[in-house]
Structure 1
Amino acid sequence: MVLFSLTATHADLNLETVARLSKGASAVAAGNVHPPVLPPASGGMAQAAVEPLQSLNGAVVLSTCNRFEVYAEAVTDHGIDAAREELLAGIAAQSGLDRGTVDQALTVRRGSDVARHLFAVGAGLDSAVVGEREIAGQVRRALINAQETGTASPGLVRLFQAASRTAKDVGTRTALGSRGLSIVSVALELATDLSETRDWPSARVVLFGTGAYAGATMALLRERGCTDVSVFSGSGRATDFVTARGGTALDGDSLSSAIAQADVLIGCSGSDRQVSAAELAEVRGEDPKPLVVIDLALSRDFDPAVDELDGVELLTLESVRLAAPEETAESLAEATRIVDGAAHDFEAERRSRSVDTAIVALRKHTMSVLDAEMERVRARHGCTAAAEEVEFALRRMVKQLLHTPMVRGRELAAAGLQEQYVNAIEALYGIDVVEPAAPAVAADNCPVDHRARDLTA
């Protein structure tokens, strides 16, 4: 298992570039994994065949409102550079960005840094709002999506499962979990501050989108007593969304009227079409009421120029990042210790697993040779006492012969040389060391809705 990652986040890039990189994110993994994409685990329709990369065993894409990350497993350690180059070419093709821009935008991590970064991301330590709740569910959903499309290798399954466990540990063992902060909650607090007299129970809200952030937004609006929520989705999923969560579904004919009466507009769809300042001004009329526009979509649901309209206050992901409260040094230090310890344990387990798999393969190979030889002995002499004594002696000898390679393998793994050990086993004995399959991941009772694959769909 040779892991590496390509990451781009709000901390290093403007959100427009992150949004461009995220375009066609699922196709990046589906078209670049060897062997070719498998049928979905859910039994649905398989994806069309795509020419796969020969240098990748698997890939998982994590695409959220402020990050685009690809976690991949290369076939060999020497194949990482080739896999990276072909992945970058695929991202450039899907995003429409030139190859040089993509190369500069994405940070490459290898080895233990891969787990350390993903665990920090899942625990909310790398978020615009430190300790946010949604990201742990997004990490879990990224793995489920990859499994459904057949791009999640066993090594990546174990990596993402460990990230989910680490996120739970941080949530239960530090104050970060008790804060209940999220991008959505901070945005709603900002909206409240813009109008000190805002009364959420009487507010009229129009919500754009039906993805994970829309689900989280609806839940938090309910907590604040807001019941007048209308939902619009360009993809036509508004009716199903409100059936499950309440609210009123809008279509193209009823949208304008709802906007004209709204106190708050919240964008979570990330569609290709933005609401322009001119469109919003026309809908609001000549004597418009005060309006707060919260744009949480990575690719922006509203033209930034709406902020220039009279009576309109625009809040964006950048506004949320700047307004997010700072966590105490004690909570961050404890969370960091948990993440560092989990990453260290994962790396140690990864090394041990690769050696254990090689040892099992060597043992099976040796025992098969022994069994074949004993079959010849029995065929010649029958099941006699002498034959049993020969078999007992041979099996004891084989165990003694395997003892040193097993001990040496674990010593090499502890020194980070497990790859050389596996290569030596394969070269000397002519056997293939294949990692066992990892168990599938099932969705749990995460408070965030993850049924839509695009977090801002």
Structure 2
Amino acid sequence: MSEVLGIGVSHKTAPVAVRERLALTPGKVEAFLRDTLGVADVQEAVAISTCNRTEVYVVASDPVEAETRVLGMLARKAGIRPTELAGSIYALRNCDAARHLYRVTSGLESMIVGEAEVQGQVKRAYDDALAAQSTGPLTNHLFRAALATGKRVRSETRLGERRLSVSSIAAALAAEQLSGLERREVLLVGAGETSELAARALADHGVEAIFVANRRRDRAISLAQRFGGQATSFDALPQELERADAVICTTSSPHPILEAEEVAAVMDARDGRALLIIDLAVPRDVASDVRHVPGVALYNVDDLQSVVRRNRSVRQVEAQHAEGIVEEEIQRFAEWLGSLEVLPTVGALRAQGQAIAEQIVRENAGRWESASEKDLERIEALAQAVVNRILHEPTLRMKGMSDDRVHLRMQVVRDLFGLEDVPEGIEAEQPLAEVRQLRRRDAPPA
């Protein structure tokens, strides 16, 4: 039977230095999914990559082999040995994998509990997988149910009421470090969704001027116009850095945009004015050694934790309500997942019993020399009827299961009876055979 497997790292298990090496930039997701489908009988795959996590959800008939191979792919991408990732990687199966994805989509696994962006990020990951044609029945159901769970959490709780996000926390940090943002100039490097959220948060803090730098100038102009700012080019970054009070970086560049040498040159031209740089990108936009340049205060996404902790207590009650919703939805997923396995398991068990009965009849064929063809038919019918009578009650009980432990119970049945290769889609709807009284050869028809 195929199983759902979730493999990944997050801000809870790995620092940004590890996460950025595993990050899947938009242009590389499709190729990664295509490569994943080619290993260890992986039939379906979806990958999520954000500043806080990289996770791969696959469907495979051999989850142990799939886990090993996918871990190897991630390790090769990061350029490190799989054993070095062992302490950072988590691998979850079936309902545990689904529960984790539901929690991610609901914002319960985010650095900022209830953050605004994560549901959109999960939807884009699913859309990318649909475009790459790497989804299937299990992942389609899983991700649609996860997105529906996220919507329930947002509509039935106040978890996302304040619309906190990494970007809004970055703006709050900038306001804290600069003693307010009024009369301050902030440079945004990047013009995507994270930059838009940052611009909105900066405007709410009363920032005096926002400058937007992006490789695509049209996007920079569009974002700047919405918030009364100005667009600039990447070529003008040194001049903009000289005048800015703070810089927030959010691009999806695979390589650093700001290196220590050029930032040092900028600081020489600032006449001793300090510069605050907040790097929200993963992979990071700012080289780590920039923090050693005199006058620079550099923060990355992991450094926002102290600000986050001050907001966490406000959301604890709503988070508990959200977790209850997640568990309700997981119950439904578990029942659905278990229902996929009941009929194939019942069918495989009946097929095994019938095969054993036929084998025993064949092995003893020589013992009934005087039996007629009709007698042999009765013997075969009797053997099959015994099998069906024995399996009658277990079949009814298995087909009547509907709780969240169906998957585990079916696994126990398969283990007990050695049903290692259960074909998917086996039907077990034919009526159970009945034991009928055998007629003597000379008895009149009933």
TM-score with structure 2 setting the length: 0.73
Task: Find the aligned partners of 1:82 and 1:174 in 2 and give their Cα distance.
Answer: 40
Greater Cα radius of gyration, structure 1 or 2: 2
Task: Find the aligned partners of 1:308 and 1:95 in 2 and give their Cα distance.
Answer: 25
The secondary structure found in structure 1 opposite 2:235 is coil
- 1:341 aligns to 2:328 (yes or no): yes
| Cα drift, residue 196 of structure 1 | 2.1
| Cα drift, residue 17 of structure 1 | 0.7
- 1:83-162 correspondence to structure 2 within 5 Å: 83-162=66-145
The secondary structure found in structure 1 opposite 2:36 is coil
Amino acid of the residue matched to residue 231 of structure 1?
V
- Please, which moves more after superposition, 91-100 or 18-27? 18-27
Task: Find the aligned partners of 2:67 and 2:328 in 1 and give their Cα distance.
Answer: 28
- 1:65 aligns to 2:51 (yes or no): yes
- 1:28 aligns to 2:14 (yes or no): no
Amino acid of the residue matched to residue 32 of structure 2?
V
- 1:55 aligns to 2:59 (yes or no): no
| Cα drift, residue 231 of structure 1 | 2.6
Task: Find the aligned partners of 2:204 and 2:300 in 1 and give their Cα distance.
Answer: 22
Task: Find the aligned partners of 2:149 and 2:270 in 1 and give their Cα distance.
Answer: 53
Question: Residues 304-350 of structure 1: CA distance to partner in whole angstroms, max 9, x if unpaired?
Answer: 44344454332321221221122344222212111122112211122
**Structure-2 change in CA distance of 1:265 and 1:144 (3 Å):** same
| Cα drift, residue 358 of structure 1 | 9.3
Q: Which one of 153, 168, 176 corresponds to residue 170 of structure 1?
A: 153
Amino acid of the residue matched to residue 326 of structure 2?
V
* 2:307 corresponding residue in structure 1: 323
- 1:182-201 correspondence to structure 2 within 5 Å: 182-199=165-182
* 1:303 corresponding residue in structure 2: 287
Task: Find the aligned partners of 1:99 and 1:5 in 2 and give their Cα distance.
Answer: 16
Task: Find the aligned partners of 2:128 and 2:181 in 1 and give their Cα distance.
Answer: 39
- Please, which moves more after superposition, 81-90 or 216-225? 216-225
What stretches of structure 1 of length at least 5 have no aligned partner? 34-51, 361-402, 436-457
* 1:221 corresponding residue in structure 2: 202
* 1:240 corresponding residue in structure 2: 219
Amino acid of the residue matched to residue 239 of structure 2?
S
| Cα drift, residue 223 of structure 1 | 4.0
Contact 2:41-2:66 at 8 Å conserved across structures: yes
Contact 1:28-1:91 at 8 Å conserved across structures: no
TM-score with structure 1 setting the length: 0.71
Amino acid of the residue matched to residue 59 of structure 1?
A
Contact 1:355-1:421 at 8 Å conserved across structures: no
Question: Residues 210-246 of structure 1: CA distance to partner in whole angstroms, max 9, x if unpaired?
Answer: 333223223333444557333333xx32423433663
| Cα drift, residue 95 of structure 1 | 2.2
* 1:314 corresponding residue in structure 2: 298
The secondary structure found in structure 2 opposite 1:138 is helix
Task: Find the aligned partners of 2:411 and 2:168 in 1 and give their Cα distance.
Answer: 46
* 1:385 corresponding residue in structure 2: none
**Structure-2 change in CA distance of 1:304 and 1:85 (3 Å):** closer
What stretches of structure 2 of length at least 5 have no aligned partner? 348-391, 428-446
- Answer 1 or 2: higher relative contact order, Cα 8 Å, separation at least 6: 1
| Cα drift, residue 191 of structure 1 | 0.8
**Structure-2 change in CA distance of 1:193 and 1:54 (3 Å):** closer
Runs of 4+ with >6 A deviation: 356-360, 403-406, 419-423
Amino acid of the residue matched to residue 337 of structure 1?
G
- Please, which moves more after superposition, 63-72 or 308-317? 308-317
**Structure-2 change in CA distance of 1:22 and 1:197 (3 Å):** closer
Amino acid of the residue matched to residue 66 of structure 2?
A
Contact 2:20-2:284 at 8 Å conserved across structures: no
Amino acid of the residue matched to residue 264 of structure 1?
A
Task: Find the aligned partners of 2:180 and 2:305 in 1 and give their Cα distance.
Answer: 24
Root-mean-square deviation (Å) = 3.5
Contact 2:181-2:208 at 8 Å conserved across structures: no
Contact 2:115-2:164 at 8 Å conserved across structures: yes
Amino acid of the residue matched to residue 116 of structure 2?
R
Q: Which one of 233, 239, 243 corresponds to residue 257 of structure 1?
A: 239
| Cα drift, residue 432 of structure 1 | 6.0
| Cα drift, residue 303 of structure 1 | 2.9
Amino acid of the residue matched to residue 15 of structure 1?
V
Contact 2:249-2:279 at 8 Å conserved across structures: yes
Contact 1:28-1:87 at 8 Å conserved across structures: no
- 1:266 aligns to 2:244 (yes or no): no
Q: Give the count of matched residue pairs.
A: 370
Question: Residues 109-138 of structure 1: CA distance to partner in whole angstroms, max 9, x if unpaired?
Answer: 112111111111111111111111111111
- 1:349-428 correspondence to structure 2 within 5 Å: 349-355=336-342, 407-412=396-401, 414=403, 415-416=406-407, 417-418=409-410
Amino acid of the residue matched to residue 30 of structure 1?
R
Contact 1:20-1:97 at 8 Å conserved across structures: no
Task: Find the aligned partners of 1:359 and 1:244 in 2 and give their Cα distance.
Answer: 58
| Cα drift, residue 406 of structure 1 | 8.3
* 2:351 corresponding residue in structure 1: none
Contact 2:213-2:220 at 8 Å conserved across structures: no
Contact 1:412-1:418 at 8 Å conserved across structures: no
Contact 1:23-1:94 at 8 Å conserved across structures: no
Task: Find the aligned partners of 2:343 and 2:115 in 1 and give their Cα distance.
Answer: 37
The secondary structure found in structure 2 opposite 1:108 is strand
Amino acid of the residue matched to residue 214 of structure 1?
S
| Cα drift, residue 148 of structure 1 | 0.7
| Cα drift, residue 195 of structure 1 | 2.1
**Structure-2 change in CA distance of 1:228 and 1:354 (3 Å):** farther
Task: Find the aligned partners of 1:244 and 1:334 in 2 and give their Cα distance.
Answer: 36
Amino acid of the residue matched to residue 218 of structure 2?
T
Contact 2:345-2:410 at 8 Å conserved across structures: no
Task: Find the aligned partners of 1:179 and 1:128 in 2 and give their Cα distance.
Answer: 15
